[in-house]
Amino acid sequence: MRDPSATDDPGMAEHESSQGYFGRLIRELWRDLPFSVLLFVFWIVLSGKFDGSHLLVGATCAVAVSLWTSRLLRLPPQLGLSASHPLAGVFWLRFPMYLLWLARQVITANIHVAWIVLHPRMPIQPCLVRLDKPAPHTFARLVVANSITLTPGTVTLDVDVAGYLVHALTSRSAADLRSGDTVRQCQALFLRTDPESGRGV
């Protein structure tokens, strides 16, 4: 028996297919909106141009890069809490405060390292620090590891599920790491629930 929902009109089928494609595209645009905004702000900071043509090009590039990379981020292995929404667990409202905190840490560490280099005795005390601070997922571990490496005087050597192995230039840098402030600030960027199921992590 013929399916009453089936259609022999190729034009109708093509129309429904295009509607489905644009629907998926709109959902992807909405889902990736925070990342697009972040890229657009980064574009403005780097370009320093505020005329219409530059802003239009920047917005277009931000959206295009966001759409392209979001599909890459959904490839295995799973990056965030959700395989289909790898960036959905980011608390974007906390991101500006995190950047300000990180900038302050970088400036302070730069001054500390400069003092060591200029000191006649160069009082370095290199050591390895193991931070047993589990992160909720791969993306969170990536943010923590890079935040540590961006701060002068410390370099992340290895990352695993249980924590991080870091080389510290001085005992002060090692003490700052052991305080756990860097890990807490980074992990505060991530929500504590699965965006798809609502389960806590």
The answer to whether residue 84 is domain-embedded is: no
H-state helical runs in 48-192? 52-73, 95-118, 138-150, 171-178, 181-187
The answer as to whether 78 is a domain residue is no
pLDDT score of 80? 67
Q: Tokens 């013929």 appear where? A: 2
| Structural domain count, the chain | 2
Cβ pair 72, 53 in contact under 8 A: no
Flag whether 103 is in a domain.
yes
Those residues whose C-beta lies under 8 Å from the C-beta of residue 82, and which sit 6 or more positions away, are 88, 89, 194, 195, 196
Nearest to 190 by CA among 114, 111, 80, 83: 80
Q: How confident is the model at residue 174 (pLDDT cuts 50, 70, 90)?
A: very high
pLDDT at res. 166: 96
The angle that helices 95-118 and 171-178 make with each other, rounded to 10 degrees, is: 160
Q: Tell me the C-alpha distance between 105 and 98, whole Å.
A: 10
Confidence of residue 138 (pLDDT cuts 50, 70, 90): confident
Residue 101 lies in a domain: yes
Of 108 and 190, the structure prediction assigns the larger pLDDT to 108
Task: Of 9-13, 68-72, 97-101, give the lowest mean pLDDT range.
Answer: 9-13
- Asked whether residue 80 is assigned to any structural domain, the reply reads no
73-125 tens-digit pLDDT: 666 666 666 666 666 677 878 888 998 999 999 999 999 999 999 988 888 99
The Cα diameter of the chain in Å comes to: 92
As beta bridge partners, residue 155 has 167
Nearest to 142 by CA among 103, 176, 183: 183
Cβ atoms of 35 and 87 closer than 8 Å: yes
Residues 159 and 111 in one domain: yes
Higher pLDDT, 136 or 182: 182
Give the tens place of pLDDT for each residue, 29-63: 777 777 788 889 888 888 888 888 989 999 999 98
pLDDT at 12 over 60: no
> Token pair of 167, please?
């080389």
∠ Cα 47 110 90 (to 5°): 55
* Domain boundary residue, one of 38, 73, 108: 73
Q: What is the pLDDT of residue 127?
A: 94
Q: How large is the average pLDDT for residues 1-23?
A: 55
- What percentage of the chain exceeds 70 in pLDDT? 74
pLDDT at 8 over 60: no
d(CA 39, CA 70): 13
> Within this chain, do residues 29 and 115 fall inside the same structural domain, yes or no?
no
Element (H, E) at 157: strand 154-159
33 and 99 in a single domain? The answer is no
